Amino acid sequence: GAVVSQHPSWVICKSGTSVKIECRSLDFQATTMFWYRQFPKQSLMLMATSNEGSKATYEQGVEKDKFLINHASLTLSTLTVTSAHPEDSSFYICSAVNQLAGTDSQYFGPGTRLTVL
């Protein structure tokens, strides 16, 4: 149980285009999902908290107009990187909280590697 999928697993795009990444909880409902980015050999950096049916909460320094988050259902959150630039190249990872499990544990997707040319 507690499987989270991400799609796509990797994407290469041209500078200036937008990229959408999907995060799905496959066998549980998640009212709360998180989006992280991770640079090589560094730990996870929280970008935003995504709550189903409400606006995402962004961490300081993360541009909400650039990283659009939509948590439209209890099993799906999307992150859209708008007008991507090479500095947005990174590993993006989502996680979901299985609140019915009664813990604070987050279950992570496999990540999406974004390369912006």
Residues forming contacts to another protein in the complex (CB under 8 A) are 4, 6, 32, 34, 41-44, 46, 49, 91, 93, 95, 97, 99, 103-111, 113
Q: Which is nearer to another protein, 6 or 77 (CB)?
A: 6
Nearer Cβ to another protein (20/113):
113
Amino acid found at 21: I
**Least distance from C-beta 63 to another protein, angstroms?**
20
Q: Which is nearer to another protein, 28 or 34 (CB)?
A: 34
Structure tokens at 50: 């995504």
